[in-house]
Amino acid sequence: MLTTSAVKAVSVITTGDGEVHHEHIYGTRRPELWWIFFGRRWVRLPINVYVIDHEDALVLFDTGQDRAVVTDPDYYPDRITAFFYRHIFRDIRIGPEDTLPAQLGRMGYSASQVDKAVISHLHGDHVGGIADIPQAELYAGEEGFAYMRGPDHPERQTVFRDRIEIPGARWHMIPFASTDDPELAPFTEAFDLMGDGSMIVLPTPGHLPGSVSMLVRRDTAPPVLLVGDLTYDEQLLERDHVGAVGDAVQLRHTYAKVRALKQHTPDLVILPAHDPHAAKKLGST
Ligand SMILES: [Zn+2]
C-alpha cells in the first residue's frame, strides 16, 4: 500500500462516554421498539474523535458529543425525540474536561488549529464539536444532508438539523470521484482529502445515509480505516454481524467491501468511532 510521510501522528481522544443497549451493538431479531424500551443489557462505550496530525493540516475524523446533551434540558428538538433518546442512551458522562477543546488541549493541540474535519455521519455524537472549530472545513456525505433536509422518521428525528446547520459552519458535501486505484479496490469512488493520498474518504453506507469512512496511510505504522458507526467492533464486521441500527442489507454490502479491502491490505487497522481499545490499536497510550 502507498505510504506517505505526510501523516505525523494519528491519535484518539474521547469526548465522554455513555451506555447503549446490547442489541444496538450486537443486533437482535426483536423489533426496535421492544429493545429500546425493554432491553435490559447495557454496554458502556466511549465517544471517540480521531486526530490526524498531517504536515500541512490538523484533521479530525468526527468531532464527538458536546456537553449540551447532559447540561441542556432542551437539547433534543422535541419531547418525543427526547423521550426516545433517553431510552436509547443511558448515563451519558461528559465532564468539562471531556469537551473537544479540552481533549485537544490535553494532546497539545488547540481547537483553533483544526483545519478540516471529516464527519462519518450526522448523528449528534459525531457532530457535537463543530461549534468549537468554526474555522474548520467540514466534510460529510451528500446523502446525509438530503436525509437531514427531507422528511424524517415519522415518530422521531435522528439527525438534529439545528445542531448541524449552525451559523458559520463551513460544510462541504464530499466530492467523491471515481477511482481505479487497485489499492482501494473494491471501492470505486474516493475523495483524496489532502490531495497526496494520505487520507482517502470512502463511501460506506448502511448506518445512516451518507456514512463515510477514512483511510489514513502512514509510513511508520499500518494504515488505519476509521469507520464511524459502520460497526462497533472490528470482529463483528469480520463475522458479518450487523447491529440493530441502520440498513442491514446496505451494512452487509459495505462490510463485504471493507473485508475485501482488508484482504489485500492485511495489516489494515479498522477503528470504529466507539472502539474502547482505539488508543491501544493506534499504538499510543
Ligand atoms: Zn451513529
- Kindly give the distance from the C-alpha atom of residue 284 to the centroid of ligand 1, in angstroms, as a whole number: 25
**Ligand 1 centre from 122 Cα, in Å?**
7
The Å distance, Cα 33 to ligand 1 centre, comes to 18
Distance 158 CA to ligand 1 centre (A): 9
The structure's pTM equals 0.94
**Which residues surround the ion ligand 1 when the cut-off is CB under 5 Å?**
123, 229
| Cα 124 to middle of ligand 1, angstroms | 8
Distance, CA 20 to ligand 1 centroid (Å)?
12
Strands laid side by side in the 116-118 sheet: 89-93, 7-21, 42-54, 57-61, 116-118, 137-140, 170-173
pLDDT at 40: 82
Residue-level pLDDT at 285: 41
- Residue stretches of the chain with pLDDT short of 50: 285
- pLDDT, position 81: 86
C-alpha 6 – ligand 1 centre gap (Å): 30
The span from the CA of 59 to the CA of 118, in Å, is 8
Residue type, 46: P
Closest CA to 279 of 82, 51, 115: 51
- Distance of CA 169 from the midpoint of ligand 1 (Å): 20
Helix (H, G, I), strand (E, B) or coil at 189: strand
Q: Does residue 130 sit within a domain?
A: yes
Cα 123 to ligand 1 centre (Å): 5
In angstroms, the CA 241 to CA 250 distance is 13
Q: How close is the Cα of 219 to the center of ligand 1, in Å? A: 30
The CA 229 to ligand 1 mean position distance, Å, reads: 5
Please tell me the distance between residue 2's alpha carbon and the centre of ligand 1 in angstroms.
Answer: 30
Residues 6+ apart with CB under 8 A from 34: 28
Neighbours of 93 (CB within 10 A): 12
101 Cα: distance to centroid of ligand 1 (angstroms): 22
- Determine, yes or no, domain membership for 1: no
273 CA distance to ligand 1 centroid (A)?
9
Distance, CA 207 to ligand 1 centroid (Å)?
7
Cβ atoms of 229 and 274 closer than 8 Å: yes
Query: 121: CA distance to ligand 1 center in Å?
Result: 7
Number of domains within the chain: 1
CA of 263 to the centre of ligand 1 (A): 26
142 located within any domain: yes
Cα 190 to Cα 182: distance, rounded to the nearest angstrom: 12
Domain containing residue 167: 7-281
* 2 is a domain residue: no
Does 120 fall in a domain?
Answer: yes
Q: What is the pLDDT of residue 1?
A: 60
CATH of the domain at 228: 3.60.15.10
Is 78 within the bounds of a domain? yes
Residue 144 falls inside a structural domain: yes
Q: 211: CA distance to ligand 1 center in Å?
A: 9
